[in-house]
Amino acid sequence: VLEKTLLLLASVLSLGTLALDNGLMRTPPMGWLAWERFRCDIDCDQDPKNCISENLFTDMADRLSQDGWKDLGYVYVNIDDCWSSKERDKKGRLQPDPKRFPGGIPKLARYMHDRGLKLGIYGDMGTLTCGGYPGTPLDKIDIDAKTFAEWEVDMLKFDGCYSNEVEQQQGYPLMSKALNATGRPIAYSCSWPAYSGGLPPKVNYTQLGEICNLWRNYDDIQDSWDSVLNIIDWFFDNQDVIAPAAGPGRWNDPDMLIVGDFGLSLEQSRTQMALWAIMAAPLFMSNDLRTISAEARSILQNKIAIGINQDPLGFQGRRLVKEKSGIEVFWRQLSNDTSALVFFSRRTDMPYRYKTSLSKLSYPTGYYKIVDVFTQKGSSLKDSADFVVSVNPTGVVMWYVSAPAKLDPNQFHGGGKLKGPASRSDKHGIRRVLL
């Protein structure tokens, strides 16, 4: 056992400056993930529409490809826990539950690829998955990576239940190396930091950026406002530590979007979408796309919010201001000297009128074109001019802010809407003023 451990340690040390050079996820990944909404429902006899089965994933693929999601960037369809048989096959390989996935994973991958989508799968760096299915201990990492590649899987979420700190230190880098060695580009999501408290010195964010495309830092999201708020607080309270780790190909993951489920109001749904965009977070929805409301769809399909999230600079945004009034202001630097601002209210009483100016938020001198992300109304602001935003309880006002310029305020007319020729949509769906 000691010899085996020393060999594994030697192989980890030999990784040295290994970078996850797979060229994937240069912007935050987008798609759909089963876990929060469908959990470990395996009762296909009593609940055939909602159980973890190939039918659930083909249903979601159909919705992504037919209802406009794929065209906006939502391309991953990700299986989570409870997909496999309770036993490996005779060759030691993982295998899907034959009743729930009769066509096998390769058939599911082909179904996705034929529709321009990608398939994600779930594994666990331990003896068992969190749901009690076969895990991927150290001696199974190579065979499981090869199996996923043979199945033409596009992404692996690697959880950490039933493993210890030493095994995680070895296993997460080894799986990165094993996935790279398959020759198939497989995006790699590590849950490692979430099992180590999410912060240095236990978490080495430099190393994570070298071996993983994204990583879970914190607890699983639940279908509640309290859960969303806890995640927001943790990520922004620790922004000085975690934000610098993010960038093209390597992302902090605050977990799934629960917009369209049961726990969030309309205002809270906008808040989650807005702050996940500010955080450059992966946008993995966990909801039922077959029955989603028009209101939830409009939030998740908001082209300006998606454009901000997908900005190629890959800068993770920050909280600038935390007022005693319960108002907080968040900012994200975007390409071409543009930016995004979010005004968020923690209040639960009534809309709050918050007064500030761009110069107070450290914007340089100039005129700015503002687009409200959720109303899509435009206006012009000088940096020194005070303005008031009315922010609903537990809600947000989100702005896309142009680069500073000598802008003629007369370019705008009644209602703050843009004159026709004064703007166009860029490739990210963001309305940009033609200066």
Compute the distance between CA of residue 388 and CA of residue 378 in angstroms, rounded to an integer: 15
Residue of 215, 218, 213 lying closest to 188 (CA atoms)? 213
Indicate which residue of 81, 159, 255, 288 is catalytic: 159
Q: How far is CA 65 from each of CA 108, 282, 286, rounded to the nearest angstrom?
A: 15, 19, 16
**DSSP readout, 346-370?**
--SSS-EEEEE-TGGGTPPSSEEEE
Q: Is-contact 130 81, C-beta < 8 A?
A: yes
Asked, for residue 419, whether it belongs to a domain, the answer is no
Give me the pLDDT at residue 431, please.
36
Give me the pLDDT at residue 112, please.
98
3-state secondary structure of 312: coil
**DSSP readout, 35-89?**
HHHHTT---TTT-TTTSSSHHHHHHHHHHHHHSSTGGGT--EEE--SS-B-SS--
Q: How far is CA 80 from each of CA 137, 153, 321, rounded to the nearest angstrom?
A: 18, 13, 37
Q: Chain-centre distance of CA 138, in angstroms?
A: 28
Q: Which domain holds residue 156?
A: 30-310
Asked, for residue 426, whether it belongs to a domain, the answer is no
Asked, for residue 432, whether it belongs to a domain, the answer is no
What lies within 8 Å, CB to CB, of 290 at 6+ separation is: 59, 60, 63
Compute the distance between CA of residue 344 and CA of residue 275 in angstroms, rounded to an integer: 9
Number of domains in the chain: 2
Tokens of 286: 């966990």
Residues 84 and 135 in one domain: yes
> Would you call 154 a catalytic residue per the annotation?
no
Q: Largest Cα–Cα distance of the chain, in whole Å?
A: 76
Q: What is the CA radius of gyration of the chain?
A: 23
Residues 203 and 132 in one domain: yes
Provide the β-strand partners of residue 412.
418
Residues 256 and 195 in one domain: yes
**DSSP readout, 120-150?**
EEEEESSSB-TTSSB---GGGHHHHHHHHHH
- As a residue count, the chain comes to 435
Q: Chain-centre distance of CA 123, in angstroms?
A: 18
Residues 190 and 212 in one domain: yes
Helices (H), 185-224: 205-211
Tokens of 283: 């946008």
Query: Which amino acid belongs to residue 381?
Result: L
pLDDT in tens, the chain (435 residues): 444 444 444 444 343 334 477 999 999 999 999 999 999 999 999 999 999 999 999 999 999 999 999 999 999 999 999 999 999 999 999 999 999 999 999 999 999 999 999 999 999 999 999 999 999 999 999 999 999 999 999 999 999 999 999 999 999 999 999 999 999 999 999 999 999 999 999 999 999 999 999 999 999 999 999 999 999 999 999 999 999 999 999 999 999 999 999 999 999 999 999 999 999 999 999 999 999 999 999 999 999 999 999 999 999 999 999 999 999 999 999 999 999 999 999 999 999 999 999 999 999 999 999 999 999 999 999 999 999 999 999 999 999 999 999 755 555 443 333 332 233 344 444 433 322
Give me the pLDDT at residue 408, please.
54
DSSP state of 199: S
Which of residues 255, 283, 310 is at a domain's end? 310
CA dihedral 368, 309, 288, 99 (to 10 degrees): 170
Residues 269 and 354 in one domain: no
Tokens of 148: 């996923």
Indicate which residue of 59, 220, 372, 383 is catalytic: 220
Asked, for residue 14, whether it belongs to a domain, the answer is no
Residues 81 and 103 in one domain: yes
CATH code, domain carrying 348: 2.60.40.1180
CATH code, domain carrying 292: 3.20.20.70
Asked, for residue 77, whether it belongs to a domain, the answer is yes
Q: Is-contact 328 291, C-beta < 8 A?
A: no
Tokens of 69: 């999601």
Asked, for residue 351, whether it belongs to a domain, the answer is yes
Parallel, antiparallel, or unpaired: how do β-strands 76-78 and 118-124 relate?
parallel
Residues 210 and 127 in one domain: yes
> Would you call 159 a catalytic residue per the annotation?
yes
Asked, for residue 417, whether it belongs to a domain, the answer is no
Give me the pLDDT at residue 21, please.
75
